[in-house]
């Protein structure tokens, strides 16, 4: 029979993982098998700089935490070695892990939970191809400025024409 202290410690770990699953906007699950220490260190550094928490976790603990957080679809990808990236940004973990996977064939993205919904590896890669939040805001700002800019140019052209004819 398992020791009560061990069971309590594991339950606390499951509760902590479940809390991260609930709080994260994006949780990406990946298979890191085949990466050497230098590659994993580089990946962790890139993720840490983006404010993403990256952990290697036991599948059984993640499975119990996912069930506790009502994210049972995650069980389908919890096979083999599992690394999990938790983030408040929806696109950043998918983008960083996808870019790293392109350069390092050993890293395989298994799937993700994005805003409470399970997405498969193909959808994670599609999400990674989207521009960042700043890029999207820049595009929106450009679209919003275009009518005002065009109006100003038209007024300037009419003004210059009137000055030239006078």
**pTM of the model as a whole:** 0.73
Model pLDDT for residues 56-111, shown as the tens digit of each residue = 889 888 888 888 888 878 888 888 888 999 998 888 888 999 999 889 888 899 98
CA distance linking residue 115 with residue 54, whole number of Å: 18
Handedness of CA 120, 32, 78, 25 (dihedral sign): negative
Q: 92 is written with which tokens?
A: 């950043």
Residue pair 54/84 in contact by the 8 Å Cβ criterion: yes
Q: Strand 117-120's sheet: what is its strand order?
A: 53-56, 83-87, 26-31, 108-114, 117-120
- How sure is the predictor about 138, in pLDDT bands with cuts at 50, 70 and 90? confident
Helix, coil or strand: residue 17: helix
């Amino acid at each position: 029979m398992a020791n009560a202290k061990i069971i309590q410690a594991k339950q606390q770990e499951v509760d902590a993982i479940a809390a991260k699953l609930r709080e994260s906007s994006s949780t990406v699950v990946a298979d890191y098998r085949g990466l050497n220490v230098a590659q994993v260190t580089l990946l962790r550094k890139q993720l840490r700089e983006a404010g993403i928490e990256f952990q290697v976790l036991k599948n059984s603990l993640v499975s119990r935490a996912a069930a506790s957080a009502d994210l049972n679809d995650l069980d389908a990808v919890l096979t083999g070695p599992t690394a999990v990236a938790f983030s408040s940004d929806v696109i950043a973990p998918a983008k960083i892990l996808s870019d790293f996977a392109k350069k390092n064939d050993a890293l395989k993205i298994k799937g993700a939970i994005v805003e409470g919904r399970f997405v498969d590896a193909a959808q994670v890669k599609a999400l990674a191809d989207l521009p960042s939040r700043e890029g999207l805001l820049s595009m929106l700002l450009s679209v919003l400025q275009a009518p005002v800019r065009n109006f100003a140019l038209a007024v300037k052209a009419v003004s210059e024409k009137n000055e030239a004819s006078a």
